[in-house]
Structure 1
Amino acid sequence: MDMKKYLADLEKLVNIDCGSNVPEGVQEVTEFFKKELENDWLLKVYPQNDGKNPVLVAKNRDSEDIDLMFLGHNDTVFPKGTVPAWSYKLEGNIATGAGVYDMKSGVLSMIEVAKEFKDEDITIALVMNTDEEISSRYSRPVIEEVGKNAKYAMVFEPARKNGNAVIERKGLVKYKVEFFGKSSHAGNYPQEGINAILEASRWVTEISKLHNWDIKNSLNVGLIEGGSGVNIVPDYACIKFEGRSHQVEFFETIRKTMEELKANPLVEGIKVELEEIGYRPPLVLNDKSATLRDLFDESKAEMGIKYDWEVAGGCSDGNFLGVLGVGVVDAVGPVGGEAHSKNEYLDISTIEERIDLAKAVVRKMIDRKII
């Protein structure tokens, strides 16, 4: 492979402000990959979220039946203005910068792998979205539409800092709950007020009881707001929380708990509005995923690469595919660490190794007529 070009492309991409909520940035990255693929691939851009979060789908031939699907995302978690103060830097084997590890390197790697097999008698689909870091709220229908007819998928999210890949992931649900009360003077007319914060506090207490780490079910209230002064009965409050589990039943328990709380408020006259703002089903090992995992194990043993498989608490777009019966392996990109922080880094010495490993697996899949 042309490592010089790879690193030049990586620098260019990392130096684009392309957080999920930076439309001009994610559009620029999407255009970059369109130009990279337009001569040899069939391309379609889905203008999700009114064009603010486009999804690029590339296929090597015109078919709805997909033998192998590659997934990657072109957005980062970082806000607009991050890059000028924190641009790409390479020192020795360590590259740093916004999204260098999560996951510009992974997208470049998956394209490098896909190009190797574009002329084979299989159908390959590349899906690159720009809202993964906000739970793929807009791209999920596209991923599921392509994935419903897919046999296998590799998700090129980065490998763990210890080199491990991922075979299963927890599912996730996120909610926004708003409370509408009535303001009044807290000294003179407290009885006329309807305290939104009081009701929100009850919700925080009750739903937090669902957190049970003994069975690896987590629930975290991460944001809360409300009120405008200590002498005013607050007429508005809002909480945002997430639940994570390997069991879909946990998400149903959360929903039922919220319905009960809404139907039986502590504060008389309060109005409550619920909004699901993110969902990913659990990624659970199936027979096809096991087949793909075993091929990776066989290939890495032959190549002298050592790493293990992890069950992750974090989610990826692979979660959407597992529930469709697709065989999925995840985190097959290069090694690095400290994603979502200013300490994010990529070990460039692992780039070619992980690309070659993925290529070896695809070659086995073709030769053994798995695809």
Structure 2
Amino acid sequence: MLADLEELVTCESFSADHAAVARSAEVVGALGARLLGAEPETIVVDGVTHLRWTFGTPRVLLIGHHDTVWPPGSLGSRPWSVTDGIARGPGVLDMKAGLVQMFHALASLPSPDGVCVLVNGDEEVGSPTSRHLVEETARRCVAAFVLEAAADAEGTLKTARKGTSRYEVVVHGRAAHAGQEPDKGVNAAVEAAHQVLALTDLGPAVGAAATHPVLGAATVTPTLLSAGSSRNTVPALARVSVDVRVPTEAAQHRVDELVRALAPRTPGARLEIRGGAGRPPLSPHSSAALFALACRVAEDLGQEPPGNTAVGGASDGNDTAAAGCLTLDGLGAVGGGAHADTEHVDTTRMIPRTRLLAGLIARAVTLDRPAAGTPL
């Protein structure tokens, strides 16, 4: 497993570098073909390479991604290494170790029949070209197991996730010479500052009615800001990027209404709202039955039962749950530091996690589709 992990980590696959993602898909595809005895279906959408294996009539979906947040050349400063049971390297936790565990878990079963494996190449940027593949496959399956990393060093599973929305508020002003006639301009930077303050008030404005007992309240966070073209020119254009996390679909709709209702405060300025709702929330009801099953499988294996938690980040699991498929997330590697210089995997946990996943697949592949929240 460590040799397979090294092969994946040392093939860089930054989401925005489609050529690198294509090379990574070849490496991932070869690994899957060797372990599963079948070549994948290669699906290229808008230049992004995804892989899919289908065995018989799918009832269980195993889903992961092979793209990472690490730009080309990251291996130079963050080389692959394994020391004292800790593996390091760009993307090792998020989520190449999860892919290795997934392939080995499926290969350990007598047959892969009834399983679909989907590995996409753009999850880190919101799965824009693969979302329809995720939803289409999930609609045919009883259960989806997402190989994102565990929530913490204890191996806690992710049983709820907030939904996401992304916006860009574009402010249109009017340029003028900043020294000779600033009064003739409409300062887009000043208007952007007003909008940043207005945006920070939107989370509380959604109200307590949209707060979830597990996932908490909606958050609206201005992130990237830019304005102006030169030091001596009144800015004619400004942009504010906005990150939104929501606990319920009702909150997602309400935030959308509030963002689109933003009005300019500076005379002569005009606002343009881009973007919108992304992934819907992953409700605890969509994962409850599979989490209970995971606890029983762990007990049968002599393992400590996993914990569970809600997280603010989204994944493809949000979309599988929205498609009506029971979903359990965080079944991948145990470690820490995802997206950071400290990214690492605890290699001593890889085999136990692989056995847990194998047991889940073996149980779930025989199931009929139950209602969400129904014990399995």
Q: Is the 8 A contact 1:41 1:59 kept in 2?
A: no
Give the counterpart letter for 1:173 in structure 2: S
**Equivalent position of 2:196 in the other structure:** 204
Q: Rate the CA distance shift 1:192–1:169 in 2: closer, same or farther, 3 A.
A: same
TM-superposed CA distance for 1:294, in Å, is: 1.1
Matched, 1:316 2:315: yes
Q: Is the 8 A contact 2:138 2:324 kept in 1?
A: no
What is the aligned counterpart of 1:78 among 70, 78, 83?
A: 70
Matched, 1:344 2:343: yes
Give the counterpart letter for 1:43 in structure 2: P
Give the counterpart letter for 1:114 in structure 2: L
**Equivalent position of 1:44 in the other structure:** 41
Give the counterpart letter for 1:297 in structure 2: C
Give the counterpart letter for 2:101 in structure 1: S
Q: Is the 8 A contact 2:8 2:28 kept in 1?
A: no
Normalized against structure 1, the TM-score is what?
0.90
Summarize the alignment of residues 355-366 of structure 1 with structure 2, pairs less than 5 Å apart.
355-366=354-365
Q: Is the 8 A contact 1:70 1:125 kept in 2?
A: yes
**Equivalent position of 2:143 in the other structure:** 152
Matches of 1:369 and 1:146, distance apart in 2: 16
> In structure 1, the residue corresponding to 2:304 is in which secondary structure?
coil
Q: Is the 8 A contact 2:186 2:268 kept in 1?
A: yes
**Equivalent position of 2:373 in the other structure:** none
Q: Rate the CA distance shift 1:143–1:228 in 2: closer, same or farther, 3 A.
A: same
Q: Is the 8 A contact 2:95 2:333 kept in 1?
A: no
Q: Is the 8 A contact 2:142 2:367 kept in 1?
A: no
What is the aligned counterpart of 1:137 among 125, 128, 131?
A: 128
What is the aligned counterpart of 1:35 among 8, 30, 45?
A: 30
What is the aligned counterpart of 1:18 among 13, 17, 23?
A: 13
Give the counterpart letter for 2:359 in structure 1: A
**Equivalent position of 1:3 in the other structure:** none
Deviation sequence 1:333-367 (CA, Å, 0-9, x none) = 12100111011110000000001011122223356
Matches of 2:168 and 2:110, distance apart in 1: 43
Q: Rate the CA distance shift 1:92–1:162 in 2: closer, same or farther, 3 A.
A: same
Gaps of 5+ in 1: 1-5
Matches of 1:104 and 1:68, distance apart in 2: 20
Q: Is the 8 A contact 2:114 2:365 kept in 1?
A: no
Give the counterpart letter for 2:309 in structure 1: E
Matched, 1:292 2:283: no
> In structure 1, the residue corresponding to 2:40 is in which secondary structure?
strand
**Equivalent position of 2:99 in the other structure:** 107
Give the counterpart letter for 2:65 in structure 1: H
Q: Rate the CA distance shift 1:25–1:166 in 2: closer, same or farther, 3 A.
A: same
Matched, 1:268 2:260: no
**Equivalent position of 2:260 in the other structure:** 259
What is the aligned counterpart of 2:55 among 57, 60, 66?
A: 60
Matched-pair identity in %? 27
Matches of 1:317 and 1:34, distance apart in 2: 20
Matches of 1:217 and 1:266, distance apart in 2: 25
Give the counterpart letter for 2:21 in structure 1: V
Q: Is the 8 A contact 1:42 1:59 kept in 2?
A: no
Gaps of 5+ in 2: 212-216, 371-376
TM-superposed CA distance for 1:199, in Å, is: 1.9
Q: Rate the CA distance shift 1:82–1:309 in 2: closer, same or farther, 3 A.
A: same
Normalized against structure 2, the TM-score is what?
0.89
Matches of 1:177 and 1:192, distance apart in 2: 23
Q: Which moved more, 1:340-349 or 1:110-119?
A: 110-119
Give the counterpart letter for 1:275 in structure 2: R
Q: Which moved more, 1:193-202 or 1:357-366?
A: 357-366
What is the aligned counterpart of 1:188 among 168, 180, 183?
A: 180
Matches of 1:369 and 1:234, distance apart in 2: 60
> In structure 1, the residue corresponding to 2:45 is in which secondary structure?
coil
Give the counterpart letter for 1:183 in structure 2: A
Q: CA RMSD in A?
A: 2.2
**Equivalent position of 2:225 in the other structure:** 224
Q: Is the 8 A contact 1:137 1:278 kept in 2?
A: no
Count of aligned pairs between the two proteins: 357
